[in-house]
Amino acid sequence: MTRWQMVAVEKTCVKEDVASFRVGDTIDVHTRILEGDKERIQIFSGVVIGRSGSGSREMFTVRRIVQGEGVERKFPLHSPKIAKIAVKRSGVVRRAKLYFLRGRVGKAVRLKQLRNEKTPAEAAAGTEE
């Protein structure tokens, strides 16, 4: 299979309505979970510490703290199992990968908030600062 054929195949798998987020943003990932014959949505909330890949193979890693333990989860960006990605807060970062957050605990894990642009929640509510 040539490179151009692979690109054509990948275009059919890529979602069109992907939320724009960057490394350092705090996001909610709404994931579809199948339990028997029922489907429900589970929300995984945390900080994006890395993105990798391109096209239909693009992945992102989200880290959060649960009961004092760090939990990381990798998600495929264009997966049909992901119902929605909501950006809650944007962080100021100067790196592509935030692996240094793994060694931090408590308030040291927090990132500076990006203040000059509104979060999608604020834009939808119509609040102005």
Give CA–CA dist 127/129, Å, rounded. 7
pLDDT at 79 > cutoff 80: yes
Our measurement of the distance from residue 68's CA atom to the centroid of its chain's CA atoms, rounded to an integer in Å, reads: 21
| pLDDT single digits (tens) 12-43 | 878 888 889 999 999 999 999 999 999 999 99
User: Residue 5, Cβ neighbours under 10 Å: how many?
Assistant: 9
Provide the pLDDT for residue 121: 60
Provide the pLDDT for residue 86: 95
As a whole number, mean pLDDT of residues 103-123 equals: 74
Provide the pLDDT for residue 128: 52
Residue ranges of domains in the chain, CATH in brackets: 14-102 (2.30.30.790)
Give me the torsion for CA of 121, 123, 128, 129, rounded to 10°: 60
Q: Running DSSP on this structure, what letter comes out for residue 109?
A: G
pTM over 0.85: no
